[in-house]
Amino acid sequence: MKQKIEALRSRLNALNYKYYVEANPDISDYEYDMLLKELQELEAQHPEYDDPNSPTKRVGSDLVNTFSSVVHKFPMLSLSNTYSLEELRAFVDRIEREEGPTEFVCELKFDGTAISIIYVNGRLERAVTRGDGTRGDDVTTNIRTIRTVPLVLRGDNVPEYVEMRGEVIMPHASFRRLNAEREEAGEPLFANPRNAAAGTIKLQNSAEVARRGLDCFLYYMVGDKLPFATHWENLEAARSWGLKISDRMQRCTTWEEIESYITRTDALRLELPYDTDGAVIKVNDYSVRHRLGATAKAPRWAVAYKFKAEQALSRLLSVDFQVGRTGAITPVANLEPVRLSGTIVKRASLHNADQIALLDVRLGDMVYVEKGGEIIPKITGVELSEREDESTPFEYITHCPECGSELVRIEGEAKHYCPNSDGCAPQIVGRIIHFISRKAMNIEGLGEETAELLYTSGLVRNVADLYSLRPQQIASLPRMGLRSAEKIMQQLESSKSVPFARVLFALGIRFVGETTAKYLASHFRSLDAIMNATEQELAEADEVGEKIASSIRAYFTNESNLAIINRLREVGLQFEEGEQSRLSSQLEGVSIVISGSFVRHSREELKALIEQHGGKNLAAVSGATDYLLAGDKIGPAKLQKANKLGVKIISESDFEQMIVGVPSVADIGEEDRKTTHQSEKIAVQGELF
């Protein structure tokens, strides 16, 4: 069986390379999925053959990971930058004066986040962020989810130790999808793919990392004993091992070739499916690199030439103000049509009042427009020499353009908001559209246009009204008929079985996106528990924090929201997590509070185990608490309160003993208990450092 599992892994790794790196799949997606499913089943049946580099690990895990800090074996230096061809020519001339005729390698400069990936005996061992150049974070679990990063290298000539440097990027398609999801959830948008990639690689939920669709290019092999004497040969070797190396590289021996490469790549970047912001010029020969050396911050044998951001100049005609479902006001500039990055641009983002004031943008101005990150273009500056003498500073609106309510601005936030959530049409329609969306209640047949028609016709004023609709009412709408209406009614009925986490997401609570809703549902288990929780208790749930906790409390103190929830409860929506199968009654009547991070389990796993064995999870230490399950970096307030109330403090090992039926912590001597807990703390620290 072990041979069959390993053969499947090898086959899937080869198929993965063909599909994601070469973009030349050998088999259909269905056939690939069936092979992967077969491997998953075999691995589940034979856990003794578990392998962290199995293709099945690509999907990541819902378990929360903590990142340990790792010292780079070879420092990750930054590159010197230049925006001038004259300075770049001076760089080339200096090297040739010192070394004579020199061969350079020109490469794309990817706009992402730097990574170092180590392979030992051909297997992915560790991936570390740049950090401060000397020490970075171990993000191996997240890097394993990137399909273009091989888990096992190919070929017979792979060195025992291989360390590759490269860039984790977010392709435009992934970035657009991610920002669309965040906008729908009322979450802040990422400014550009680079920020999105950097934020994603540091997420503590690798399943979410896998879902976001990162990519990775590798461009530098480091080590004391490299296979070849030149950069180009080493990258070609790395390519043969299955690593993703850009095919947009070129060896150049003259300044004219380098200049030509830069000109071509500057034009090419507009067509690429990912962001590049320049070209990197490197000396090819390692012996020359060694002689040239490095400064404290950067090597003297390489430089990055940064492209100028593509801009267009256009006249600002007017400004519209859009109202989102959360009430956020977004100013959008209307421009004279201008060509930018191959498309005609007529509108551009102005972000918020602060940005307008900072740029001193005025109606009638000639403004500079950039297309940042392949999303909506943005205004980045004003050509003051073109400003008309009679122009006046722009006055930001004070009232909602849709309902006339006076706008408010929440402390610490850049945007203005319309507070009239119950009477502002775009907010109401936006909440209905969010509620029926695929990742929420998934009510097929009800699209955005139909949602607007239901509202404007007076049939639906909030999401609860959807469940009061009759087929004849829907059939009377334009482009609808009785058959379509009956299908929608069936979808509405089916939505009553949608799991609690998705119902919670569908409510449209500000800042509660799909992932946060899952954490809240898992932590509190019911809507009533969330509604009754304090801000402090809400903030203790994973991925929540004070800002989201405050938003949740505000939502549940709104009488209109409570009325809608009561109606949704009456029609039968799921407001509780499904019951978990009971494994034992070992913790019957026992209440436990969890704090800190653990070696063998995530906090959510521990909470599930407590319930599966008959226990109860508490969010805060009180007189009703039986045990404080303490991990590394335990909250000091909880520890202090537990000691004050005499609550027993147990370790992860203590807890494991309790649920398997061996003597519980109550039967363990005080000194033994202290020893056990201390040894676990040491184990955790050893893993971190």
The angle at the Cα of 490, spanning 485 to 496, to the nearest 5 degrees, equals: 135
Using CA of residue 39, residue 43, residue 48, residue 54, what is the dihedral sign?
A: positive
Quickly list DSSP for 583-643: --STTTT-EEEEESB-SS--HHHHHHHHHHTT-EEESS--TT--EEEE-BT--HHHHHHHH
CA-CA distance, 539 to 142, in Å (whole number)? 25
According to DSSP H, which parts of 349-481 are helical? 353-359, 425-436, 448-456, 471-475
Residues 548 and 535: beta-carbon distance below 8 Å: no
- Return the structure tokens found at 520: 């809240």
CA-CA distance, 119 to 116, in Å (whole number)? 10
Residues 327 and 417: beta-carbon distance below 8 Å: yes
Q: Which residues of 453-490 are buried (b: 16+ CB within 10 A; e: fewer)?
A: bbbeeebbebbbbbbebebeebeebeebeeebbeebbe
225 as an active site residue: the answer is no
SS3 560: helix
Using CA of residue 668, residue 674, residue 679, residue 684, what is the dihedral sign?
A: positive
- Return the structure tokens found at 276: 């590049």
Amino acid identity at 335: L
CA-CA distance, 489 to 283, in Å (whole number)? 67
Q: What are the angstrom distances between the C-alpha of 668 and each of 55, 562, 650, 654?
A: 43, 48, 10, 9
Residues 419 and 409: beta-carbon distance below 8 Å: no
CA-CA distance, 371 to 355, in Å (whole number)? 17
What are the counts of helices (DSSP H) followed by strands (DSSP E) for the chain?
Answer: 25, 20
Task: Supply the DSSP symbol for 495.
Answer: G
The angle at the Cα of 266, spanning 262 to 272, to the nearest 5 degrees, equals: 125
Cβ burial, residue 271 (10 Å; 0-12/13-18/19+):
exposed
According to DSSP H, which parts of 219-285 are helical? 231-240, 255-268
CA-CA distance, 252 to 47, in Å (whole number)? 52
SS3 169: strand
Amino acid identity at 516: T
Residues 365 and 387: beta-carbon distance below 8 Å: yes
Residue 602 CA to its chain's centroid (Å):
19
CA-CA distance, 120 to 164, in Å (whole number)? 12
- Return the structure tokens found at 89: 């020519």
- Return the structure tokens found at 66: 């903590």
Q: Which of 109, 244, 378, 638 is catalytic?
A: 109
CA-CA distance, 643 to 591, in Å (whole number)? 16
Q: Annotated active-site positions, please?
A: 109
